[in-house]
Amino acid sequence: MGLATPPRELLVATDLSQPADVALTRAVQLANQHGAHITALHVLPADIDDDVAEHARRNVETHLSGRLDGASVTVAIRRGKADREIAAEAADSAAELVVVGAHGAHWPADAFLGSTAENVVRTSPVPVLLAKKRSTVPYRTVVLAVDICLASDDAARFATGLTPGADHLVIHAGVVIGENLLRMHGVGDEEIELLRRTCTVEAREYIARLIDTLPEPPKQVVITSGHPATRLVELCDSHAADLVVVGTGTRSPASYALLGSVAQQVMRRSKSDVLVVPAVKI
């Protein structure tokens, strides 16, 4: 799958809860929009025997009936820890997008660190869509969070391919790195403001180059200052966005601390759906 090519294989995790049905509804919408196939995964405890697992499969198939709107779906049953089995099934089924609910029957409603949803984002080899609002229509307004890095470029290209026809807003929110330390060492307001203007010029030039690589130009570009996660959530609200897109880097525990500074906070605080896209491995 190319970065701007819509996915043809989706994986949706379901524990038959209401939040999982929100994820299923979005997966069905995307599958029908792009002609994709869905694997619906239900994860059971590791010690469940085969008879119980087969009964669970039948329950999932019954639950899905009437909810698929013609989409092609295969049911998969795995046993083990939910986030690990979701990542494993994503690899085994060659999924190009994983869709999960904001929380499930046993997932904390505030999606704190260590919850299934965040651990899936941490471990998934492919983009993860956190579905928060039930909708049967394509995304209309999509915020593309852009930093001056390849990870956010990858995310923007993938998201524009996933959401053709939507109004895309490219948003760069940043601060002067080490501003407080600079002030402690006597750097004045005028010099700080000059640094801000320089950062803004660099961001505009970078975003202009990125836009040339997108399948369709964004409706608007916003460059603002402030804490990135806070400003992203604020701007999503003010633009009534139904999806916000963020990129991440590698998947090591150390790098996940960086995810926590932006993507993780957006996942927790945004009222919109959140698409988290890992950097493409070279």
pLDDT (tens digit, 9 = 90+) per residue, 126-180?
Answer: 999 999 999 999 999 999 998 877 778 889 999 999 999 999 999 988 765 555 6
Same domain membership, residue 265 and residue 178 = yes
On whether residue 280 sits in a domain, the answer given is no
In a domain, 222, yes or no: yes
Do residues 104 and 250 lie in contact, with contact meaning Cβ atoms separated by under 8 Å?
Answer: no
**203 membership: H or E segment, kind and range:** helix 189-211
Residue 175 falls inside a structural domain? yes
Same domain, 227 and 120: no
Q: Which domain covers residue 147, as residue numbers?
A: 141-245+253-272
Among the candidates 112, 131, 150, a domain finishes at 131
Report which residue type is found at 67: R
Q: Which residues face 73 on adjacent strands?
A: 38
Counted residue by residue, the chain has a size of 282
Distance CA 279, CA 282 (A): 9
Q: Which of 104, 131, 158 is the last residue of a domain?
A: 131
Q: Is 277 a member of any domain? A: no
Digit-coded pLDDT (tens) for 92-113: 999 999 999 986 444 343 333 3
Alpha-carbon distance of 276 to 279, in angstroms, equals 10
- In this prediction the pTM is 0.85
Token readout for 41 is 């995964």
Looking at the structure, tell me whether residues 53 and 118 fall in a common domain.
yes
Q: Are residues 103 and 171 in the same domain?
A: no
Bridge partners of residue 276, in order along the sequence: 128, 246
Q: Are 241 and 156 contained in the same domain?
A: yes
pLDDT of residue 129: 96
Say whether both 158 and 233 belong to one domain: yes
pLDDT, tens digit (0-9, with 9 covering 90-100), for 190-225: 776 677 677 778 888 889 999 998 988 999 999 887
278 is a domain residue: no
